[in-house]
Structure 1
Amino acid sequence: MTFETLLEEINGFGPFQIIIITLLVSPRIVIPCHFLLNNFIAAVPPHHCDLSTLDDGEVFSNLTEEQRLAVSIPAGGDGVLKSCEMFAEPQFLLLSNSSSSTDPLTLQCQSGWVYDNSTFTSTLATEWDLVCDRKSLTKTTSTIFFFGVMFGAIAFGYLCDKYGRRNTLLASYIMVIVFGFSSAFADSYILFAILRFFTGFGLAGISINSVVLSIEWVDTGHRSFIGVIGSLAWSVGNMLLAGFAFLVTDWRKLIVTVTAPLGFAVLTWWWIPESARWLLANGNAEKAQIYLDKCATFNKRHKLSRLKVETLSNIEILEKQGKNYTYLHLFRTPKMRQLALLSGIVWYGVASTYYGISLKISGFGLNMYLTHFIYAAIEVPAKLMIYCFLNIFGRRVCQAGTLILTGSCIAVNIFIPQDLWHVRAVIAILGKGLSEASFTTVFLYTTELYPTVIRQNALGYTSFMSRLGVSVAPLILLLEDVWTLLPQIIICSVAIVSGLVSLLLPETLNAALPETIDDVEKSGKNPNISPAEESLDVFLQSKSSTSI
């Protein structure tokens, strides 16, 4: 007897499962809105030095705004006025196209900056003057945020396996709401950075919890569908962010706007069930029976007998008795250790490649809102494509294929001349779509590889490796100053190597989810039998020998 057997009796994909998916959509839409929020709230609008210190009240005051800028701010080699420098004194000779025999003295902006507010009413840059010598601080907020996501993945991975998916999901909701709204009212850069760290920390809990809770309630045949639906929620949120940012041009109001949907998520949390798999694996057969009965009622099936549920619970907790699972269990046994190392490399490669490409692809000559929307929309066909292929070619082939093809697209672009920009753009967009397909695959693949008793810890660990890849991606792009092609070569190599590594992972297509570490360690003895079936065989054999 396996959990899949119970699900088949009460319908593993009926109205009950559809309700769960629906309730988890709104929080998953919030995730990309916050992950990519820095593109808008940290945008640096055109700016120049405040010229008030140069106003002598006579000649200068009679000039037009264009003339004041011309005589006060030096121009670069491209003829564009510099953003961070000003003349020590107005150069009126420039109005008559005359030039001085000596270079005029220039200074750093003395009285702050004047910003172009035609696109943004307010951003972090305009709020705290994060420009010129302080411009790196706008990028730092994103790094701090992803550090929060990184450590949140580790923390919530442990808490979810110890205290359950449902309770920690609520804790994640509340944490993001509190720190998300608080960051919108921060009165200093340091306070804002701290609040963004804890917002990212909470979002990590929503990310890993919503995926696992969805997949653990559906049957084997619909796991890929659930994985893709959850991934499509990311694309929807990504596209909505472009619309939100276009309508709300103040950074404080924009943060409130993208955080607000979690209020609805908290209200609907009361209808979200705990994972029956987790309850059974932790010996709580009575509570699991309640949720399984609700599932049967919603799906219009007969309720399961108490004996079946208790029997399955006893089987599943056999290995867990007397154990408190931690991240160390990912590396204590041979096959779990191999699985952790390989999946960690794959997650690092997937994230580093995806964000490396996303940050490198240039726009289409459109405004930033439309460009952001198009980039998000491109991911949708990629996800639908991978959904079709996952059940045809399997998880392992899809994971390896998308990564290797992504690396190939980057490699091809290295040799295409710059003047063939339209060809380069098509290949770059194809690469981005493939990298998103690899991200969609790895979420589903990972939940199927690890056993229930430690699945959340595993997702916490792999999410940590993913955020490590996200943090490194911008640093890789900085190597362009060393050699123009070096970032592309590194990202290409990472994609291909991680793709080859994924070929070493076991296939999980149509296989029952492993419940215990013992299921993983015993897998592979017979390639035609799933881990759960092997465990069942051992159990039945022991019962048979006892009877004899």
Structure 2
Amino acid sequence: MVKSKLASNDPSATQPTAGSEPDTAAMHITLNPSATSPATGNRKPLTSPSKPTAVFTEHSSNGGGGSGSNNNNNSSNNSKPIGKGGGGDDGGGSAKSPSRRKNSDEENDVIGDLIGDYGKWQFVMTFLLSLFQVPNTFHIYSPTFQAADKSFWCRRPTHLNNVTIDRWRNVSSSQENCRMLNYDWSTLTSAQVSMENFSLPKNLTDTVACSAWEFNPYDKLGNTWSSEWDLVCDKEYLKNVAEMFFLAGVATGGITSGVLSDKFGRKMMLFISAVLQSIFGLALYFADSFEFYLVLRALLGIVSVSVTYAGLILAIEYVDGKWRTIAGMYNLFPLPVSYIMISGIAYLTQDYRNLQLCIGLPGVFLCLLWFVLPESPRWLLCKGRIAEVKDVVRKAAAFNNRPLPDNLDKLLKPPVDEEETAAGVCELFRSKYLRLVTFCFLCVWFSMNLIYYGLVLNMNSFGGNIYLNSALAGLVEIPAIALAMYIINRTGKKWLFCATFFAAALACLCAAIVEGKPEFLVMKITFVMIGKFTISAGNTIMPVYTAELYPTAIRNVGVGACNLAAGFALVLTPYLSMLTKIEDHLLMTLLTAWCIFGGVVIIFLPETMQHHEHEERDEEKEIDTQLTV
């Protein structure tokens, strides 16, 4: 944790500690309380000649778009931090006393005072950033179509290619797909095999494993991994390995991307990752061996998650106040839209290579946004790059039609770093409260990712039309995210989050009951979509809720640990589809169990919005003291 103070002429000025920011590398600056009239509590203009004092807190994270709970400081001079409450289009709004704030989303800093909490500039920038989620979603979801199961059978010998497929499968007894009768087929002709009364000796029962296969050309799946590299029978598990490589890359990138983003900047990390994502994504189109394909998928996973995290952090640092939570959740909207888009693209291409080309190209055009998107002004201020901060602030303020004060140079003083003490993993278990929160969230993040991606990445295991199922899965997530955004600040997060797990459990249980019954296929798909709707709402709430329960000083470490648990779940999800080959009901039954488990664990967590504000402030002060002494 880094604390920096700007010079002040008021030695008695109270220096409130940053409360609890969103789970990003956001930098919060509280101006000198002397800029506020003690008598009236009204804000003096930013052009006040008094020099500002700021407490500067930097923290970074690998995920989440949430905000922490409020940190109300009761100073002896009744000082109040300068800031604007949730602004309108121009980021305006009345100043709010800390004692009246129920959520630290309404924390404000000098950047927010200058350019507004949320205005036209922030809307355009966050919208452009959200577009980076489109290729990310494409790449993580593409195996649903690229690795789809195709019907297959043992390949006909070349000289028997004129024999119909049905006739060949009957004569060769290759109905089991992986084995055929052990016979010297070179002694037969197409005419002989095609005769209706032709059959092999009845005492011929010895079979041999097929060495090559043919795949159904009329299943509307086109060329897939299976047909390209014969990933069937004893090689079928390699399809899951390919997806596991990608998700292992996601887990690895999730651990490192936050640190690199803090060091090199959000914009730099975003665009380096986006360029590499485009290169690896397009290189997959030309991959001529499965081994090379695996390596590229792993590298693609590493850079894709870096695009996600850097873009999310940048989006949240563009805004201020209550808009931080909304910006983090707003960044998720392209996900369901991308599910729908890739379903249509896959249906039109019906070839895994052509699909890969189509989903790799959008990233190339997004790289051009380098000339439009600025670096985070809060990160630049943290690094003391004042000239660049001024440039961003002037452009943003002009776009938002906000006048800048004459003393801009005084307001944007570079912070002075004190000796930095990094929070370690051990801090997550220092107190009873932190041990409880950490253990619960490790379980919840593991469960959520296993359930969410267990549904998303196994759409081809649920029966029905894979393209329609995938489009519906994206369609139901749009209102789920919108609903979560609407009510998340109007009610407690704990019970809403808990309800999403239990509702998903009920839907998955109903789907498990009707599993394996073709006459109930539509009903099963309906239950699966209900489960997808509810768990998507929970997936939107999870990072926000996690951010609120961890004190600022160790939030980065806490969410990093949660991401590690999520990474383990991601690596397991490709293998869930194999459960249906063991027993029809096993997959949905397992997802039901994890839904119930996650919901029960959430019951033990506190409700931050109503019950935990004072406890968290005390906890944060304790941790902050231990780390800075």
**Pair in the same fold by TM > 0.5:** yes
Q: Which has the higher helix share?
A: 1
SS of 1:376 mapped into structure 2: helix
SS in 2 for 1:351: helix
**Does the C-alpha gap of structure 1 residues 223 and 94 become closer, same or farther in structure 2, counting only changes over 3 Å?**
farther
1:23 aligns with 2:120: no
Question: Is this contact kept in 2: 1:330–1:337, CA < 8 A?
Answer: no
Query: Displacement, 1:424?
Result: 4.2
- Distance in 2 of aligned mates of 1:248 and 1:336: 50
Deviation at residue 86 of structure 1 after TM alignment: 4.8
Distance 1:397 1:414, change over 3 A: same
Amino acid at match of 1:501: V
Post-superposition shift, 1:45? 2.8
CA contact (8 A) 1:414 1:488 kept: yes
1:101-124 C-alpha deviation (Å, 9 max, x unpaired): 4243322224x2223334345322
Three-state SS of the structure 2 residue aligned to 1:114 is: strand
Matching residue of 2:39 = none
Displacement after TM superposition at 1:236 (Å): 1.1
For residues 382 and 199 of structure 1, what CA distance do their matches in structure 2 show?
A: 28
Deviations 1:366-422 (A, max 9, x none): 532222212221211222222222122143333222123222333455566956555
Unaligned runs of 5+ in 2: 1-29, 31-80, 82-106
Q: 1:432 to 1:107 in 2, by over 3 A?
A: same
Q: 2:264 aligned with 1:163, yes or no?
A: yes
AA paired with 2:454? Answer: G
Letter matched to residue 614 of structure 2: K
Which of 175, 191, 200 aligns to 1:75? It is: 175
Alignment check: 8 A CA contact 1:71 1:94 kept: no
- Unaligned 5+ runs, structure 1: 77-81, 512-522, 539-548
- What's the counterpart of residue 244 of structure 2? 143
Which of 328, 342, 353 aligns to 1:227? It is 328
Aligned length: 507
Q: For the residues of structure 2 that align with 1:328 and 1:302, how far apart are their CA atoms?
A: 45
Say if 1:325 and 1:289 are closer, same or farther in 2 by CA, change over 3 A: farther
1:64 to 1:275, Cα distance in 2 relative to 1, 3 A: closer
Pairing 1:79-98 to 2, within 5 Å after superposition: 82=177, 84-88=179-183, 89=185, 95-96=196-197
2:479 to 363, 381, 389: 381
Range moving further from structure 2, 399-408 or 479-488: 479-488
TM-score for the superposition, normalised by structure 2:
0.70
Displacement of 1:467 in angstroms is: 2.5
Q: Contact conserved, 2:153 with 2:174, CA < 8 A, in 1? A: no
Say whether 1:470 aligns with 2:543: no
Equivalent residue, structure 2, for 1:494: 594
The aligned amino acid for 2:428 is: F
Change (3 A) 1:481 1:180: closer
- Go from structure 1 to structure 2 and tell me whether the alpha carbon gap of 1:459 and 1:508 turns closer, same or farther (over 3 Å shift): same
- Residues 100-152 of structure 1: CA deviation (Å, up to 9, x unaligned): 54243322224x22233343453222222222221211221001110011101
Matched, 1:402 2:491: no
* Pair 1:206 & 2:307 matched: yes
Q: Distance in 2 between matches of 1:457 and 1:444?
A: 15
| Equivalent position SS for 1:4 | coil
Q: Does 1:438 align with 2:538?
A: yes
Distance 2:451 2:155 in 1: 41
**Residue 4 (structure 1) aligned to one of 79, 99, 108:** 108
Change (3 A) 1:414 1:248: closer
Cα separation, 2, equivalents of 1:453 and 1:284: 24
The residue correspondences of 1:443-522 to structure 2 (distance < 5 A) are 443-447=543-547, 459-475=559-575, 478=578, 487-505=587-605
Post-superposition CA distance 1:478-525 (Å, at most 9, x none)? 4567776555454333323333434555656699xxxxxxxxxxx843
Work out whether 1:32 is the aligned partner of 2:137.
Answer: yes
Alignment check: 8 A CA contact 1:212 1:456 kept: no
Contact 1:248 1:254 in 2 (8 A): yes
Match of 1:236 among 329, 337, 342: 337
Native 8 Å contact 1:141 1:193 kept in 2: yes
1:261 pairs, out of 359, 362, 367, with: 362
Closer/same/farther in 2, CA of residues 30 and 252 from structure 1, 3 Å limit: same
Give the one of 270, 281, 297 matched to 2:398.
297
Q: CA deviation at 1:71?
A: 2.1
In angstroms, what is the RMSD of aligned CA positions?
Answer: 3.7
| Distance in 2 (alpha carbons) for counterparts of 1:253 and 1:373 | 19
Report the Cα distance in structure 1 between the residues aligned to 2:465 and 2:580, rounded to whole angstroms.
25
Does the residue aligned with 1:203 lie in a helix, a strand or coil?
helix
SS in 2 for 1:95: coil
- Once the two structures are aligned, what percentage of the paired residues are identical? 25
How has the CA–CA distance of structure 1 residues 459 and 35 changed in structure 2, closer, same or farther, with 3 Å as cutoff?
farther
Contact 1:44/1:126 (<8 A) preserved: no
- Measured at CA, do residues 95 and 324 of structure 1 come closer, stay the same or move farther in structure 2, by a change above 3 Å? farther
Contact 1:278 1:452 in 2 (8 A): no
Q: Deviations over 1:217-259 (max 9, x none)?
A: 2233333432332221011111111122122233223222112
| 1:342-376 superposed Cα distances (whole Å, 9 cap, x missing partner) | 43332212111112334566788653222221222
Q: CA deviation at 1:36?
A: 1.0
Per the TM alignment, residue 162 of structure 1 is displaced from its structure 2 partner at its CA by 2.8
Deviates more, 1:86-95 or 1:222-231: 86-95
Q: Counterpart in 2 of 1:354? A: 452
Q: Does 1:525 align with 2:623?
A: no
- Is residue 423–residue 553 contact of structure 2 (8 Å, CA) maintained in 1? no
Query: What is the rounded CA distance, in whole Å, between the counterparts of 2:343 and 2:439 in structure 1?
Result: 37
Distance in 2 separating the partners of 1:453 and 1:260: 40
SS in 1 for 2:223: coil
> 1:115 is matched with which residue?
215
Task: Supply the distance in 2 between the matched residues of 1:475 and 1:197 (Cα, whole angstroms).
Answer: 17
Note closer, same or farther for the CA distance 1:97–1:245 as it changes in structure 2 (3 Å cut): same
TM-score, with structure 1 as normaliser: 0.80
Q: Tell me which amino acid in the other structure corresponds to 1:21.
A: T
- Distance in 1, matches of 2:608 and 2:276, equals 34
Give, in whole Å, the separation in 2 of the partners of 1:436 and 1:267.
31
Matched to 1:146, the amino acid is L
SS in 2 for 1:273: coil
* Structure 1 contact 158–326 (Cα < 8 Å) conserved: no
Q: Taking structure 1 as reference, are residues 503 and 75 closer, same or farther at Cα in structure 2, changes over 3 Å only? A: closer
Shift of 1:188: 1.3
> Structure 1: which amino acid aligns with 2:472?
I
> Displacement of 1:97 after TM fit?
8.3
Q: C-alpha offsets along residues 409-453 of structure 1, whole Å, 9 cap, x if unaligned? A: 334555669565554443332111111111111234345556778
CA contact (8 A) 1:238 1:373 kept: yes
Aligned partners of 1:27 and 1:261 also within 8 Å: no
Q: Secondary structure at the match of 2:401?
A: coil
CA distance in 1, matches of 2:249, 2:544: 23
Does the Cα contact within 8 Å between 2:507 and 2:528 map onto a contact in 1? yes
For the 8 Å contact 2:167–2:194, the answer to whether it is kept is: no
